[in-house]
Amino acid sequence: MIGSPGCGKSLLAETFPTILPRLSDEAQLEVLSLYQLAGETKNDSSPPLSPSGSRTL
């Protein structure tokens, strides 16, 4: 996300999952399939990635 400090980027990133509707069973299978195709695992018990306050280029 892009924006000046204090505009709410971190708050939005932290609360975004709570404002979205739950995925249907079919949609969950699609997401899981995409993770498997990419060679990654999706584990709902793992903590979400927290947004970083700084970037390094």
- Which tens digit of pLDDT belongs to each residue from 4-47? 999 999 998 889 888 888 889 999 999 899 989 988 776 654 44
Task: Report the length, in residues, of the chain.
Answer: 57
Q: What is the pLDDT of residue 52?
A: 56
Q: What is the pLDDT of residue 20?
A: 86
User: What whole-number distance in Å separates Cα of residue 47 and Cα of residue 49?
Assistant: 6
Q: What is the pLDDT of residue 27?
A: 92
Q: Higher confidence at residue 49 or residue 32?
A: 32
This prediction's pTM = 0.43
In single-letter form, the type of residue at position 32 comes to: L
Question: Which of 2, 22, 23 minimizes the C-alpha distance to 12?
Answer: 2
